[in-house]
């Protein structure tokens, strides 16, 4: 019995590794038509009767995304993005120390980890999903360029109710394409990303206004568009 279980476990592991490797490799060149998170959000909207016009999602290539938008998400989400291998261990250590001394919690997910979660996994916080997130993070860092990771993040990240990706967000909030977003518009979109279902960049609270000012300062501190040369 044990031998049979072990045999099936090895077979499952083999096919899992092959399938996920090919899946990630395909997405190195092919843009995902949808993600599991999109499906989850759409199902929730149907259940709540808030579908509206459906999912807003339109892929836009890296070169057609405002440079300010590209730098903005790095400045607000993961300033070491060009230099780490998927995990920012210094940020993780600081988050652990902060969370042990404060009631509110602070995350340390990199852009690569968020891509792994947004593209390949479902929303949740259990240990299985976190383990798979780490696995897919390593795979995309191995198989994709940093530019592809950033392009994927900007296209599939949840940026509002049933709104995914920067092109959809730019049209929803500012009625313009993502390629002409200004530094202020990019900063506003970037700072709502931790909770895009709660915050609105065109109706910002005092907290979001302060975060936007901080984001603009961080973009300039990093060197603005010149920072993208590191990717």
Contact by Cβ (8 Å): 76, 52: no
pLDDT of 127 over the 60 cut: yes
Which tokens go with 39?
Answer: 């499906």
What's residue 9's pLDDT? 81
Neighbours of 34 (CB within 10 A): 12
pLDDT for 51-103, tens place per residue? 777 899 999 999 999 999 999 999 999 999 999 999 888 877 776 675 556 55
Q: Where are the domains of the chain?
A: 7-230
pTM (predicted TM-score): 0.90
**pLDDT bucket at 18, cuts 50 / 70 / 90:** very high
Burial of 153 (0-12, 13-18, 19+ CB in 10 A): buried
Q: Which helix (H) or strand (E) holds 149?
A: helix 146-156
pLDDT for 160-191, tens place per residue? 999 999 999 999 999 999 999 999 999 999 99
Fold of 7-230: Penicillin binding protein transpeptidase fold (1.10.3810)
pLDDT of 106 over the 60 cut: no
Name the DSSP letter for residue 31: P
Higher pLDDT, 97 or 210: 210
What's residue 52's pLDDT? 74
Q: Max CA-CA distance within the chain?
A: 64
What's residue 164's pLDDT? 97
CA distance 193 to 200: 10
What's residue 96's pLDDT? 66
To which residue do tokens 């250590």 refer?
Answer: 93
Angle between helices 111-120 and 67-77 (to 10 degrees): 100
Contact by Cβ (8 Å): 122, 37: yes
Which tokens go with 171?
Answer: 């049209």
């Amino acid at each position: 019995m044990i031998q049979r279980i072990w045999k099936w476990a090895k077979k499952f592991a083999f096919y899992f590794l092959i399938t996920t490797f090919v899946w990630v490799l395909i997405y190195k060149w092919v843009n995902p038509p949808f993600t599991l998170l999109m499906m989850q959000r759409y199902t929730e909207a149907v259940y709540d009767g808030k579908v509206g016009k459906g999912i807003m999602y339109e892929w836009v290539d890296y070169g057609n995304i405002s440079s300010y938008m590209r730098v903005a998400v790095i400045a607000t989400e993961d300033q070491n993005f060009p230099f780490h291998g998927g995990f920012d261990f210094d940020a993780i250590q600081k988050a652990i120390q902060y969370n042990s001394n404060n009631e509110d919690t602070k995350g340390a997910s990199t852009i690569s980890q968020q891509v792994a979660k947004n593209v390949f996994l479902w929303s949740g916080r259990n240990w299985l999903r976190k383990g798979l997130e780490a696995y897919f993070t390593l795979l995309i860092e191995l198989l994709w360029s940093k530019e592809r990771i950033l392009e994927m993040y900007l296209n599939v990240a949840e940026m509002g109710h049933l709104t995914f990706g920067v092109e959809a967000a730019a049209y929803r909030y500012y009625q313009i394409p993502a390629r002409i977003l200004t530094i202020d518009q990019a900063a506003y979109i970037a700072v709502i990303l931790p909770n895009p279902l709660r915050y609105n960049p065109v109706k910002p609270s005092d907290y979001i206004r302060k975060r936007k000012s901080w984001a603009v300062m961080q973009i300039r501190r990093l060197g603005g568009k010149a920072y993208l040369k590191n990717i």
